[in-house]
Structures are given as C-alpha cells and as structure tokens.
Structure 1
Amino acid sequence: MDESALLQRARAGDAMAFEELVAPHRAALHAHCYRMLASAHDADDALQEALIGAWRGMGGFEGRSSLRGWLYRIATNAALRVGARRPARQLSLDVGPACTDPYALGDPLEGPVWVEPYTGGRVDALSADPATAYEARETVELAFVAALQHLPASQRAVLLLREVVTFSASEAAETLGLSVAAVNSQLQRARATLARRLPDRSQQAVRAELGTEAERRLVADLVAAWEAQDVGAFVALLAEDVRLSMPPLPAWFDGAASVRAFVTRMLQTPWRLRVTSANAQPALVCWQGSADGATYAPGALTVLTLDGARISALTCFLPPLAEDVLARTDEFGTVGGS
C-alpha cells in the first residue's frame, strides 16, 4: 500500500497503518536519538516518547512536510527532553588523568554518566540503503558520539539535523524554535568543537584502507594472544599511543608501556573471546575465567579502534554497561544481532 493511503488510514486512527508508516524510519530514528544521548537505553526511551507523540499527533499531520522530516522533528525534541533529565555522558578519558598503577583502578562511577556502546545489530539495520550506509556508520562511531557529548544540547541537535539528517537551516530552525541565524551560528560553533576533538580520519576510512582480510587477521591475532595469555604478542599489535579504558571504572591507561603493565595483570587469569561489532567498529565479547579456567563469567564488550594495521584504543565496557550484549550471549556462543 502506498504512503498516502497509509497516511489516510493512520489519521483515521488505524494503529497498524501507523506502524507500517513508521517501520522504515525506526532504525534511523533510534540511531538519531542515540547520537543525541550516547545511550541506547536512553534512545529507547526517547524513541518511545516520540512515537507516542507522533501517534497522538497523526490526526493533525497534513503532509505539508515529509513524514520523515515530521518524525525527526518529534524525535529530536523527545531526545532533548530525555537528555535534560540526564547528566552529560562521557568516556573514561574525560573523567581524569591516565592511571599509572594497574592495581589502582578506582571504584565504578555509577549512574547514567557513561557513553554506552551501540551494538552491531542496530548498526546493521542502518545499512539497508547502500547510498547512506557509510555515513550512517561513521556517525555512530565511538569517537563521533563521544565528541558530540561535549556540545551543548542545542548545538548537538543543530549539527545532527543539518549534517546527518540533512535538514535545511530553516527546517532545523523550525524544529528547534530558533532563528535561521541562530542555527547557522550554532552549527559553526559545533563544527569547530568537533574539529578539535575528532581524529583526522574516521574508523570507516581506516577500515576501508586496511581491507577486510587484513582487519580480520589483526582481530584474530589479538584474540589468539589474549586467549593464550601472551602479553608480548598482545602488545605487539598495539600502536605506541594506544589507550585502554574500562567504563564504568574511571581508570584508563595511556601508551603501550602503561597498557602493557595493565595487560600483564589482566592476563593472569584465562579469557575466552568471540568477535562481534559495535559502533561500526570491530569488537570482542570477553569472558573472564577463574584462576583454574574451570568457570567463566561475562567480562566485557571491548570495542577496538584501529590505526592502520595496529590497535589504537580498547574501550572495554564492563557490566552493567555491556549487559544488553552479554545477556544475549551464551557462554562461548555467538552474539545475537551482531
């Protein structure tokens, strides 16, 4: 059934027609809320609020703008409301200086304060359209999402609406209740902030240059070294300026020597790993074993950042931040939706 017929039915109160109208936009709207909020769980709340609002307002939607644009306006404002009730989210590197003692990791910082991972299944849902898949994946990378959180909420919304959703300045202004001049000013400031915080190249560009087979070998070599408890082989795969962090622990380690000291401690117990993806980057689901290797428990979802043929960052999301992945993973099994 075409969109106009579905719109007519939805405006008349047909819930099934509404769901059919919204379905093609749901994954992209969720990713938009995730970029705004840096949390898949908060994005769930924002999207639910947005869709309830859209259903209630469907009778008044006259089609003067596109359905996509209308839904993004509602979702953006829902995300702004949800975000206003939460503290700004961050990565470990934003919390304090690098740690120098591998045995002094600090107490977990509890509450909704951490950037959360965006699992592979959600990212895959954004790749249905090859024309937009590359950009969609770039804009859920960890570095991009984390950098966005350093913007005031209004600047974040302006930048995403203009440069990811591709709204015009007037459409963004209408969505946010701003003037076009204010939108243009906020966009300029947001771009300047991101330019200072983002790496020169996206992970999608790095991965494309490295190639699928070379990336597969790099990740496989890391898994082999990790499971063999081989510190030397592990560290040989890292860039000299590598960083390792473990949210919700505040501790993070800067540089190959510092990371080596921590990995030496980490590999005193056995591990088992499975390859997956998160934030459009390679990732590992990690189980930590008892000293004798008799039992294993969920340990982390580790998102890898690549720099050429080396690993430049390991962001190890410990429970509860990785619970949504670990809960869907049987011991040593595959990750659902990865």
Structure 2
Amino acid sequence: MPARDHLIGSLDGPLSLRWQPRRALIDLACIALALALVAIALRSGRLGGDGADPFALLRSDAPSRLQTIVLHWRLPRALFALVFGAALGMSGALFQSLIRNPLGSPDLVGFNSGAHTGALVVITLLHGGHGAIALGAIVGGLGAAALVWLLSAGRGLQGLRLILIGVGVSALLGAVNLWLSLRADLDTAMGAALWGAGSLNGMSWAKGLPAAAIAVAALCIGCALARRLRLLELGDASAGTLGVPVRATRNALLALGVILSAAATAACGPIAFVALAAPAIARRLGGGLHRSAVVGALLLLGADLLAQHAFAPHQLPVGLVTSCLGGVYLVVLLLRRPAPLAPT
C-alpha cells in the first residue's frame, strides 16, 4: 500500500515539507536499532572479569579500568562502525544511482582498490600517520576513479562497460597492493596485511577521528545533494530542464562517493558487501541516500559484533564476515537479475 503524504505548510508558502508517517516510522526504527546495537556492543564481552555494568560509568565512582574498556576501546569501535558503515552505504547508493546498475558498487568498480593502494603507499613507503593515511586513501580512490573514467572512453557512467573496466583496474591494483606489501619490512607488512583484511580491531579515537571527520562532512554534503540526485534519476534531459547542471553534478557526486568509500577504507581497510547491499535494502524501505547510510551503519556494526563474538575468544576481521555475506548476496543478485553479456 503506498505511503500517504502529509504536507506541512503550503505549496506556495515559505514552508513546504512533505512528511510520510510510514517512512518516518522506518527511520525511527532504524535509529532505535542502531542505539540497541551500540548498547549491545558496550555490554558484550568481559569487563575485567568483575561483572561490572558499562553503564556504571554514569556514576561518579566508576573504576578507571571500566572507563578505559568502555570509553576508549568499545565506544570508539561502535561509533566508528556506524560512521564508516554509513559512509559505505551512501557511497554505494551514489554509485548505483549514477551507473544505474545494482552492481555499481565501489567494491566492484575499482575505487576501493585505489583507496587501498593510496593508503598502502603511505603505510609502507612514507610511514605516515592516521591523517596521512586518510589523505592517501582519498587520493588513491580519486586516481582510480579517473583511470576508470578515462578507460571507459568518455562514454558516460551507465552500463556494464564501466563495471567491467573497473573490475580489470581492481585486479591490476590488487597486484600493486601485493607488491607493496611484499617489499615492506616484516612488521609493516604484518600491520598492512591486518589492515587490508578490513578490521575494526584496535580502533581508537586517535586512529578513527581523521577519517571519521572526512566521512561525516561528506555525509552532510551527500544529504544536501540528495534532491539533485533524485532529479538526475529522471534522466539528464529532465534534470537539465529543471535547472540541474548535469555534468557538474555527476562529477561532484562521483567524487563524493569516492571520498566516502576512501574515508572508510583509510580507517578500517577495504570492507566489501556493505556498499553493495545497503542501497538495495534501503530501496525496500523507501529509498533515499540517508536511508542507505543508516542501513550501511547497521550492517557494519552488526557484522562487527558477529566478527567479535561468533568465534569467541577469537576475533575475526569484520571484512572477512562481510565478504562471506557479500559473496552469497552477489550470487543471489546475479541469479535473480542476470546482467547482459554484451557491454551497453
């Protein structure tokens, strides 16, 4: 049954907002689920073996060990999982809308591999800090996007051609990433390998804040450009008629999607599946960039909880969990909606 719109204000007045109760309830339910997952993340596992409640921090006499575990280990991991999951979800929604293909994810078109390469250059060759890694990932992602664009011979963003070129570029960059890891010293190579698996283990405020600041700023810009994206989905001619600068808007949205995925890659390493699946799930909930971001946040935090506790006391990289789920999802997607064999 279609959602019923309620107009707040008047069409010709200073205030004109459209409100849909069903979608508002879905948004509130997603926010409540996110808060519940954060509470589970703070409470799950041992707190020094003393059976303490993490919410005892609300009292003034909370022990310092409890403060360290909850405020400096678990809380940043949970919050950054939400932020970077939202960044991946919005990035996937942008690419799928611009390419007009459900396979149009930064995981598949090579942009994440470019961000991986840029971050590895900083880690293995320049030995830079967290801020430099975030900048390197963004530069690498933008470089990969430019390369894919040039190799597609300027035929636009639509069609299977760009996806196939992106897969090829991703394979080439994967070889470069392997070479960078092999030429590094043992300690650096081990750290790069753990980071390359996609992991939130050891996440801290210092490690996550530079990339999270970039991601949050990009998320806000994405929400501001959401209306233009909806107009582009009507077709270039219709969007141009409605006053949208089509080429400039497409380029801006493409760069924004790369920055979002690169920011997440810089902090957590390359994480598959989230950018691919979050927009598809969000479309079933009503669509929208902000809803894709919320679903992406829920997926990454939920996958991280599974990675932490499914095989306790051993912890898995969250990228391993999302890759397993993503492989199954991709097979199901291809079986339900087979792609054409000829590039379009």
TMscore range, shorter length: under 0.3
| Larger strand percent | 1
Using the size of structure 1 for normalisation, the TM-score is 0.26
Higher RCO, 1 vs 2 (CA within 8 Å, ≥6 residues apart): 2
Q: TM-score, structure 2 length as denominator? A: 0.25
Higher helix share: 2
